[in-house]
Chains A and B, each alone.
Chain A
Amino acid sequence: MERRGVIVLGIDTSTAVTSVALGTEHEIVGAVSFAGARKHDDVVPAIEQLLAWTGKQLEHVHGVAVGLGPGLYTGLRVGVEAGKALAQVLRVPIVGIPSLDVLAFGVHQTPRTVVAVMDARRKEVFSARYRPVHGGVVREGGYRVGTPAALAADLEAVREEVLLVGDGAILYRQELEVSGRIEVAPAPFAHPWASALVTLAAPRFIREETDRLPEVVPLYLRKTDAEIAWDQRARGASA
């Protein structure tokens, strides 16, 4: 790759914010975000604005990074599919990164344990726990979905200082701030911004650790209601 680094187009639509950004490992060339009520279909118009603003062309893009969620399914899928089709037409590599990782990366300068918490609707949250290291964060354990109460119980057992980050942390602040060791990061950090996604993904392109296009799928973490009902019936039948 050229010395100035790979230019990455980042897309994250896992929360109510549509966020796209263009940049390298060391620099964000431009970013566009739409917050508030989503029309479900504003990803490509956002990219169009981003290109117009930065004066860049899609031909300058060396790779596409998409936030895989977890998140709100319909909007999340629109961002992931838009990114996949762009990578396919441009014939550039793609990298999918869980949006919880992006959230945690956004606060990696803290010395504290980080727990990324996203609103999962249905009075549940998606979460994952991270340990900050030099230049980033390292995830400890898996991606989870559960009630804020269940997460609060886990947090109570943690002995270190904890920084909670994400819209789920803000929404369920009262349930989750179970001790003085826990703090919730403020709103500007609460979304997986595409600029953080670009910074996080750029080294993957340089190292050529990219994903196969068909394997880039959203991180759902939850089965559909139909599948849950089916499993329950199957369990009932075998019991």
Chain B
Amino acid sequence: MRVLGIETSCDETGVAIVQDGTVRSNLLASQVEVHERFGGVVPELASRAHVEALNPLLEQALGEAGVGFGDLDGVAVTVGPGLVGALLVGIAAAKSISLAARIPLVGVNHLEGHILANAIEHGPDLAPAVCLVVSGGHTMLVHMPEPHRYEILGQTVDDAAGEAFDKIARFIGLGFPGGPALDRLAQQGDPDAIRFPRAMADSGDYDFSLSGLKTAVLRHVKAERGAGREVDPADLAASFQEAIVDVQVAKTMDAARERGTRRVLLGGGVVANSRLRDRMEKAGAEAGIDVRFPSMSLCTDNGAMIALAGSWRLARGERSDLSVGADPSMVLA
């Protein structure tokens, strides 16, 4: 089965063609330059950029895969969660493609896309698993007892992890988006230099809180400067990152143990963080739990994960109506 995937939920236009679990093409038009000067994603600008990028990207994706619209067996599109105006651009295109190419349409939950992205490189036997989805918009622990069944164990009560990374990166002066730059800087710092609070580490549930950590970082720097001491940015970055990673590793492993599953799946842009990957793998090896995550380009938002998840749903006989809309706060269920 050859499926086209379209992803426009936030600030990346993603188009991909996946055939029987294999990526034939996976293209991305990043809007980093559009939003950079604003220090965050501007929804209206994101929607405008999707309209400009989407159709040339579709052409390119077909070209790279060496197929035409007529060779497709289905079209999958992100219907939520995300920015409503941005989602609707991808949905409008997907519906037209479905109608004109006479192929079935299926709406995909963006979060399921991040989880099932793991199937591209690790094969289809993923469940049962505990999944951690961490990105600029989400920080969520999910139990997947079987494919397409999800039970949300916990999520952030305030900021998403990616948001916290971006804010601290901006504070240190690393620009937007700051995640990758902060990761690099942290590699030269001491993660134990400053002991920041591990928010909700012992809360007994699987929820996360990140706004307190952000405040603690700002307060620490202010106090040090007040005392006439400069803070080493690499130590600051490493210590801040460690506080986030500590809690995520601990809660993910706890959840896996409690659910009795031997597998942990990671997904979302923050999984590109090298410290999170290393610490998760190490904790998994110690606990005898198989930790899997996609390679860099499949962690961040992309069309391939939507095509993959969509192809699985199409194979189960699922179809979306041409009247399907965007669901900006769609729940994973």
Contact = CB atoms under 8 A, between A and B. Distances in A.
Interface of A: 39-45, 47-48, 58, 73-74, 77-86, 88-90, 213-214, 217-218, 220, 224-227, 230
B96 interface: yes
A214 B325 CA distance: 24
Nearest to B59: A88
Contacts of A43: 92, 95
A218 B51 contact: yes
B142 interface: no
A45 B51 contact: no
B231 interface: no
Nearest to B38: A226
Contact of B96 (A73, A86, A214, A226): A86
Contacts of A41: 88, 91-92, 95, 323-326
B45 A224 contact: yes
B92 A82 contact: yes
The 10 residue pairs across chains A and B that have the minimum distance between CB atoms: A85-B96, A89-B100, A44-B95, A85-B93, A81-B92, A226-B42, A224-B44, A82-B92, A41-B325, A86-B96
A40 B325 contact: yes
B77 to A, nearest CB: 11
B321 to A, nearest CB: 8
Contacts of B93: 81-82, 84-85
B92 A77 contact: yes
Given A77-B48, A89-B96, 17 more contacts: A39-B323, A39-B325, A40-B84, A41-B92, A41-B323, A45-B323, A47-B99, A48-B322, A73-B44, A78-B91, A82-B92, A82-B96, A83-B96, A84-B96, A89-B69, A214-B55, A217-B48
A78 B100 CA distance: 16
27 contacts: A40-B84, A40-B88, A40-B326, A41-B92, A44-B92, A44-B95, A73-B44, A74-B85, A77-B51, A78-B89, A78-B91, A82-B92, A82-B96, A83-B96, A85-B94, A85-B96, A85-B100, A86-B99, A88-B59, A88-B69, A89-B96, A218-B51, A225-B44, A226-B38, A227-B45, A230-B37, A230-B38
Given A85-B92, A90-B100, A224-B42, A80 B47 contact: no
Nearest to B40: A226
B96 A44 contact: yes
Contacts of A73: 44, 47, 85
B313 to A, nearest CB: 19
A77 B88 contact: yes
Interface string B315-333: 0000000111110000000
B54 interface: yes
Contacts of A85: 54-55, 58, 92-97, 100
A155 B302 CA distance: 51
A224 to B, nearest CB: 4
Contacts of A40: 84, 88, 325-326
A232 to B, nearest CB: 13
B101 interface: yes
B101 A89 contact: yes
B66 interface: no
The prevalent SS among residues of A at the interface is helix
A195 to B, nearest CB: 20
Nearest to B8: A81
Contacts of A88: 55, 58-59, 69
Nearest to B89: A81
B95 A82 contact: yes
B52 interface: yes
Contacts of A214: 52, 55-56
A14 to B, nearest CB: 14
A86 B55 CA distance: 10
A5 B236 CA distance: 70
A217 B88 contact: no
A78 B99 contact: no
Contacts of A218: 48, 51
A92 B92 CA distance: 18
B100 A58 contact: yes
B99 A58 contact: yes
Contacts of B99: 44, 47-48, 58, 86
A54 to B, nearest CB: 15
A39 B91 CA distance: 13
B41 to A, nearest CB: 10
A81 to B, nearest CB: 4
Contacts of A81: 50-51, 54, 89, 92-93, 96
Contact of A217 (B52, B59, B84, B94): B52
B34 to A, nearest CB: 10
Q: Which of B45, B88, B98, B326 has the most CB of A within 10 A?
A: B88
A80 B38 CA distance: 27
B55 A77 contact: no
A45 B47 CA distance: 22
Nearest to A213: B55
Nearest to B48: A220
Query: Which has the most chain A C-beta neighbours within 10 Å: B48, B51, B52?
Result: B51
A77 B85 contact: yes
